[in-house]
Amino acid sequence: MRDWCLAAGLSAYDRRSREGLLRNLVVREGRRTGDLSVRLVTAPGAPDVAALAAALPATGVVWTRTDALAEVTSGGESELVAGREWIEEELCGLRFRISPDAFFQTNTEMAEELYRLALAYAELDGTETVLDLFCGTGTIGLVMALEARAVLGLELNPRAVADAIANARLNAIDNATFYCGDVADALPELCERAPTPPAVAVVDPPRAGLSKRMLEHLLAARPKRIVYVSCNPTTLAPNARAIVAAGYELERVRPVDMFPQTPHIECVAAFKRAVAGRSAR
């Protein structure tokens, strides 16, 4: 990549002057499949990306052009230059397709530990309907589907939902259904589609955590158990306080170090709906 940039005389983008071409480079690797995806993000221009694609041993090369002031790696106008758009990775005995705009954990080995922990905290016996909120490409939901009656996933990103549906087919899982929608608005309708009242809800929100409206819908669904996968303890804390105040017990919390030698940490928290007449804590 560096050699290509130097040989072509390409300059880095300067946000202050809004001059230059090269903005970002995103490389995603399937650690267990060997797949490699390269996404080049540039300002509008005409670099010879075909020459770059020919020189790279990648499963796919995507070129994104954007004139946005903010430093972003998505949006704008994207073009598949070579290969295929998605890569595949294996986790927990399942195979997952990952599109360029879809979220997927970057640490494969620890992601597997994270999902197994979430599955253990769900305490499934095979009779439950599980809500998988912020389901992304369906990773957690499909792992849960192996031990649940049914899984209903909800995700705002349509490309991620398409991946989740494809991943269910890829793994011959027929008891998981995925829908595109905002948890803040679509959760009540999702509950209506459930074959049985949801017994377990798994939430994996972005760093901002659950909004007041999302919490209201989640608590109105009255699942027996809530498994909260958090990428930000700062927002997990007030969300946990609200869940406990609504009549749940916080049974356990465990941090998962997905990003060693950084201040970032994932946490998995398990909540159980309190028995009538017993105060939550």
Asked if residues 130 and 281 have their Cβ atoms less than 8 Å apart, the reply is: no
State the residue for tokens 């992304």.
Answer: 136
Q: Is 231 a catalytic residue?
A: yes
Q: Which of 74, 128, 134, 79 has the alpha carbon at shortest distance from 101? A: 74
What's the Cα-to-Cα distance from 148 to each of 8, 80, 85, 196, rounded to whole Å? Answer: 54, 38, 31, 12
C-alpha 161/C-alpha 146 separation (Å) is: 19
Distance CA 105, CA 120 (A): 19
Task: Classify residue 181 by burial, with Cβ atoms within 10 Å: 0-12, 13-18, 19+.
Answer: middle
Query: Could you tell me which of 203, 174, 171, 205 has the C-alpha nearest to residue 96?
Result: 171
Nearest Cα to Cα of residue 53 among 44, 45, 62: 62
Given the residues 5, 135, 191, 231, the one annotated as active site: 231
Residues serving a catalytic function are 231
